[in-house]
Amino acid sequence: MNSTKLDFEQARAKHLLFKSKLRSILHGIHVEEAPVLSEYDCAVGKWIYNFALAEYGHIPEMVELEKVHADIHAIARQLVDLYKSGNVEKAKKGLQNMEDVADQLVALLTSVESLVEPQQLSITRSDGIEYKIEEFEAILKANIELDERIKEQVKKTTEAIERFQLVQKATQDAVWDMNLETGNIWWSEGFRELFGYDVSESDAAYWTDKIHPEEQENVKENFYNLINLKGTKWESEYRFLKSDGTYAIVYDRGYFQYDDEGKPLRGVGAMQDLTHLKKFEQNFLFSEDRFNTLIDTLEEGITLHDINGKITRANKSAHRLLGLTIEEITGRNAFDSRWKAVQEDGSSFLGEIHPPHLAVTKKQKQLNVVMGIHRNDGTLIWLQINSSPLFDPQTGDLLGAVTSFFDITERKKFAQQKDDFISTVSHELKTPVTSIKAFAQYLKRSMAEEENSKNHVMLKRMDVQANRLETLIKDLLDISRVDNGKLVFKPETFNFGAMLTELISDLQLITSSHQLIISSNPDIKINTDKEKIIQVITNLVSNAVKYSPNAGYVSLNVRRTDSQLICSVQDFGIGIPKDQHEFIFERFHQVERAHTNAGLTLGLGLFISSEIIKRAKGELWLESEFGKGSTFSFSLPLDC
Ligand code: ADP
C-alpha cells in the first residue's frame, strides 16, 4: 500500500496495532513483525510528513498530531531500551503512559479528519473503500488475537510473579536479581530484614563494598571470573556488613544467564544469613569439648558408633580397658578381625552378636552382655556391656549407637572362686551323705521287726533328712555346673509318654500324701536328655506336693501342638502371688511364706529346671493364683 495515501481510519488502525505489538514484545511474546521504532519510517509518520502536513497545512491539530506521534515513538524506544537492559518491569509500567499518548493520537487523528475531510465521513464507499474496511478488519482481528495472547501471558507472568513473591516471603533469604550488563541489583524484602538496609535497588559496588575487607577481593574475583568464563552457578561464604556495623556470615548463591551469543544478561541469587548457625556450631563444638572431657572422666569405657556399628569415638577408659590406643579403637567395627573377644564358655564372640552391632541392626538396647577380651598384653579381661541405639530426636532416624562397658574381671574371679568352693564342698559332702544313707538303710532293714520302735522311727526320719541333704547337694552341684557352662546334655530318642508313666508310678511310691494323676499322656517320641527331663518333672511334682499340703492330688497333663510337646503339672495348693511370677525362676528365689512346712530348701530347683529346659530349646512357665494353686508347664520342640 502506498504509505502516503493512508486515510484516517487506516492511520488509527495502524497505531492500534503498533501499540499492541509493543505491548506483546514487552510481555515477552514473540511477534513476527516488530513495530517500526523511528517515527519517520512508520506508515503513519510517512503519511504525516510526506502527505498530510502538505495536504492539510500546518493547522494546530496537525502540529499537535506530529508532536504526539513523535512522542509515541520516543516513549516506545525508551521502553524497548529498558526492556533490553533487563528492566522488564519498569518497561511494562511505562506501557500505560505510551498507551495514553497513543489514545491521544487516535483522538487527534479523528479531529483532524473532521476538520479537513468532513465529507469523507459520509462518503458512500466504493470498491476501493470496501477493500480498506477488509484491511481494517484484518488489523482489528490481529489486534484482538494479540490481546488474547497478552492476557494469557500476563496471567502466566502474574502467577510466576506471585509465586516468586511467595517464595521470597517464605525464605528468610535476601534474594537478588542483577543486570549483568549494567551491574544494577534488585533486592528483595529479605535484604532489608536481614541486613537492615532500606533499599530495593542498587549498583554492584553497593553490594561488594559491604563485604568484609579481608574477603572482598576474593569474592569479587571469583564472582566476575565465573561470569567471564560463562559459568552458571556461583556460591560463596563471606562476612557481610550490616547496617548496625556488625558482620553477618552469609552464604550466597547465584545463577547466571547469557544470551545466545554468550553475553551475560542476568544473575539471580539469594544470600542466607548463617551467623546463628555458625554460632550454634561453635557452641556445639564447645559443648562437644565438654562432652569429651566428661566422658573421659568416666570409669566406664564409652564408644560411639555410626549406623554401621563402626566406632567413631572412644573415651580414655575404653582405651585403658581394651588395651588399645584411641586410634586403634576408632574405625573398628564388630567384624574387625583384630578383636579377640570370647564368650563365657570360651568360644569366640562373633561379629554379628556384638552388642553395638545388634543395637544398630535390631534398633534395640542390648543389656548386660558379658564379653572376654584377650588384650594385646596377653591378659584376659571380662567386660559387662550395654549398647543402645541412638535416634535423631526430630526425625526418629537411626544415628548410630552408644556403648558403655565396665570391668567385671574381679567380680567374675570372685564368683568363680565361690562356685569352685561350692562345687568342691558339695562333692566332698556327697560321699559321706551317701554312706550315711547306706548305713541308715542297713540299720532299717536289720530292725525290720521293730518297725514301730522309737529307734526305727528315728532311723526313718534320719533317712528322710539324708535324702533331703542329698537333693540339696545335688542342686548345689547342678548349679555350679550351670554356672560353669558344664551342664552336660546327652540327648536320646525316647517315648515321652512311657517315661512319664514310669516316673510317676515311682514317685507315687514315695508320695503317700497325694495322688499323682495323669489326665492325658499321648505317645510322643522325643529327642532330648531323658535324665534331665526326669529331673525337671521330679522337681515340679515334688514342689506341687510340697506347696499343696491340704490338697489330695496333683494332676499331670501332656499334649502336643504342631511343633511342640507341652507337659503341665498342676496343684491345688497355696499358689504364688502375681508379683512373684517374674522372679520365681531366679536362683535362690523363694516366696516368703510362713504356712508351709517345706523344710530346708534353697530355692534352686526351679532355676535349675528352667536352665535345663532352655538347653532343651523349650520354655518353662507358670500360671498361678495366690491361694488357688499353680500350674507349671514346659514345652519341648518335637524336632529336637
Ligand atoms: P525350693 O527348693 O525352695 O522349692 P524352687 O526353685 O523349686 O526351690 O522353688 C522356688 C520357690 O518357688 C519355692 O521356695 C516356693 O516359694 C515357690 N514354689 C515353687 N513351686 C511352687 C508351687 N507349686 N506352689 C507354690 N509355690 C511354689
pLDDT at 224: 93
The reply to whether ligand 1 has any atom less than 6 angstroms from the CB of 425 is no
The reply to whether ligand 1 has any atom less than 6 angstroms from the CB of 360 is no
pLDDT at 472: 78
Grid cell locating 302:
564409652
Best residue among 473, 547, 585, 631 to mutate for probing ligand 1's pocket (most ligand atoms within 8 Å of CB) is: 547
Query: Which residues are paired to 350 by β-bridges?
Result: none
Closest ligand 1 atom, CA of 590?
14
The reply to whether ligand 1 has any atom less than 6 angstroms from the CB of 538 is no
* Signed CA dihedral, 322, 326, 332, 337: sign only: negative
Interatomic CA distance for residues 15 and 512, integer angstroms: 127
Residue reference for cell 513476527: 32
Q: Output the residue whose Cα is nearest ligand 1's atom 20.
A: 543
The reply to whether ligand 1 has any atom less than 6 angstroms from the CB of 606 is yes
Please answer whether residues 289 and 261 qualify as being in contact, where contact means their C-beta atoms are separated by less than 8 angstroms.
no
Grid cell locating 378:
596377653
Best residue among 591, 592, 625, 631 to mutate for probing ligand 1's pocket (most ligand atoms within 8 Å of CB) is: 591
pLDDT at 195: 94
Interatomic CA distance for residues 3 and 44, integer angstroms: 8
Fill in the DSSP letter of residue 35: P
What DSSP line would sit under 474-541, residue for residue? HHHHHHHHHHTT------EEEEHHHHHHHHHHHHHHT--SSEEEEEE----EEEE-HHHHHHHHHHHH
- What's the gap in Å between 511 CA and the centre of ligand 1? 18
Closest ligand 1 atom, CA of 601?
2
> CA-based angle 322:323:325, to the nearest 5?
100
Interatomic CA distance for residues 88 and 292, integer angstroms: 58
Instruction: Give the closest residue to 384 by CA, choosing from 458, 457, 300.
Output: 300
- 3-state DSSP assignment of residue 392: coil
Interatomic CA distance for residues 625 and 608, integer angstroms: 23
Q: Give residue 18's identity as a one-letter amino acid code.
A: F
The reply to whether ligand 1 has any atom less than 6 angstroms from the CB of 472 is no
The reply to whether ligand 1 has any atom less than 6 angstroms from the CB of 573 is yes
- What's the gap in Å between 85 CA and the centre of ligand 1? 96
Give the count of alpha carbons within 13 A of 61, CB side only.
15
Please answer whether residues 153 and 147 qualify as being in contact, where contact means their C-beta atoms are separated by less than 8 angstroms.
no
Any residues with CB less than 8 A from the CB of 29 and at least 6 apart, and which?
Answer: 146, 149, 150, 153
Best residue among 468, 516, 548, 584 to mutate for probing ligand 1's pocket (most ligand atoms within 8 Å of CB) is: 584
Closest ligand 1 atom, CA of 604?
6
Grid cell locating 32:
513476527
Q: Is 406 exposed, middle or buried (0-12, 13-18, 19+ CB in 10 A)?
A: middle
Radius of gyration of the chain (CA): 51
Any residues with CB less than 8 A from the CB of 137 and at least 6 apart, and which?
Answer: none
- What's the gap in Å between 492 CA and the centre of ligand 1? 29
CA dist list (Å): 390 to 307, 316, 399: 9, 21, 5
Q: Give residue 209's identity as a one-letter amino acid code.
A: D
Best residue among 479, 602, 606, 622 to mutate for probing ligand 1's pocket (most ligand atoms within 8 Å of CB) is: 606
Best residue among 542, 578, 590, 626 to mutate for probing ligand 1's pocket (most ligand atoms within 8 Å of CB) is: 590
- What's the gap in Å between 558 CA and the centre of ligand 1? 22
Coarse DSSP helix, strand, coil percentages of the chain, rounded to the nearest 5 percent: 50, 20, 30
The reply to whether ligand 1 has any atom less than 6 angstroms from the CB of 584 is yes
Interatomic CA distance for residues 566 and 44, integer angstroms: 109
The reply to whether ligand 1 has any atom less than 6 angstroms from the CB of 536 is no
pLDDT at 446: 83
Averages of pLDDT over runs of 10 residues in the chain (640 residues) are 57 77 76 76 82 80 87 88 84 83 82 66 40 59 71 68 64 84 89 91 94 94 92 91 93 87 87 83 68 84 93 92 90 87 89 93 92 92 94 85 93 79 77 83 80 80 80 79 76 95 90 94 94 93 94 96 96 93 82 56 84 94 94 89
The reply to whether ligand 1 has any atom less than 6 angstroms from the CB of 633 is no
Any residues with CB less than 8 A from the CB of 356 and at least 6 apart, and which?
Answer: 303, 305, 309, 311, 334, 366, 387, 401, 403
Other beta carbons within 10 angstroms of residue 544's beta carbon come to: 26
